[in-house]
A and B are shown apart, each in its own frame.
Chain A
Amino acid sequence: MKRIPGLRMVLLAGFFSPAVLSAQSFWLSQPGKAHVTLEYLRPDFKADHDGLRAFAAFL
């Protein structure tokens, strides 16, 4: 099976991060206040699969 260069892989995804008593979530936290935070993040994510794997080596 031959791949044609320039084929695109599209990743659609979400990322849930509920945080208990979180001040770890820097952008959301209220200093000194205990709270529970639920986050949902969704990327605008388009990548060639091979390119993505190559880039992952730098992470």
Chain B
Amino acid sequence: MAEIPYSYCRCSYSYDFGYGSYSVEETEKTAGNPYVGLEMGGKEERIYTELGVRLPLTPYEKWNANLLGCLIDFTRADAFVSDWLPVSAMLNLRENARSGLAYRLRAGPVLLFYTGENNYNDQFEWWLNYSAQIGFETDRFLIRASIAGRLNASMEGAAMGERTMHHLGISAALHLGGLWPGVYAVRALDADMQEFIRSVVGLNLSVELD
């Protein structure tokens, strides 16, 4: 498996002095930390695992683009952390009934090893990602609802509400030949997260290779 993340950020700053105002616009773009990994488990097996690593390539200087990449999908925030080497291991449990009803549970740690030059920085952190998904899947279409969360296990002493983030998601896709065009929407559940990103919408297109 592989994934190549990319973030484009356009920031508009507005300043109002009472007697006049001006605005500045900046753009920033960067490729994130590419993911390479293995998925282990047969097509019909209920349990499968993912092991992967992200190459720490995203530059620290692309601060806004990286932050945006982290916030827009915190379940894959490790795609945009700079100077850290993320290693992840996820356990998946899935069930697809003949009726089309399907569910998946997924959980596992993301280990972060510091690769920067600041000796005062923490050298290791880890997160726990977890999610549950239920949906209806046929050969022609699928529709899914999900809840996903992340615990920052390295934030010792902080309240549980500060260490965790959650969002609700829905997705749907159609099967057109070998293509799966789909839509995706996510709603942040945490009040502090909602101050910055209340929702995310997305489009996706999958092309089957077999």
Main secondary structure of the interface of B (DSSP, over half): strand
Which residues in chain A, 22-38, are within 8 Å of chain B measured between CB atoms?
A: 22-28, 30-38
Contact call B3/A23, Cβ cutoff below 8 A: no
Interface residues on B, range: 35 or more
Contact call B204/A32, Cβ cutoff below 8 A: no
Residue in B closest to A39 when the chains form the complex, CB atoms: B204
Residues of A within 8 A of B6 (CB): 15-17
Residue in A closest to B7 when the chains form the complex, CB atoms: A15
Q: How far is the CB of A8 from chain B (nearest CB, A)?
A: 7
Total chain A interface residues with beta-carbon distance under 8 A: 51
Main secondary structure of the interface of A (DSSP, over half): mixed
Q: How far is the CB of B48 from chain A (nearest CB, A)?
A: 8
- Pick the most buried of A14, A24, A37, A58: most chain B CB atoms within 10 A of its CB: A24
| Among candidates B70, B73, B209, residue contacting A41 with C-beta atoms closer than 8 Å | B73
Contact call B10/A12, Cβ cutoff below 8 A: yes
Tell me, yes or no, whether B4 is within 8 Å of chain A by CB. Answer: yes
Contact call B15/A7, Cβ cutoff below 8 A: yes
- Pick the most buried of A9, A13, A42, A45: most chain B CB atoms within 10 A of its CB: A13
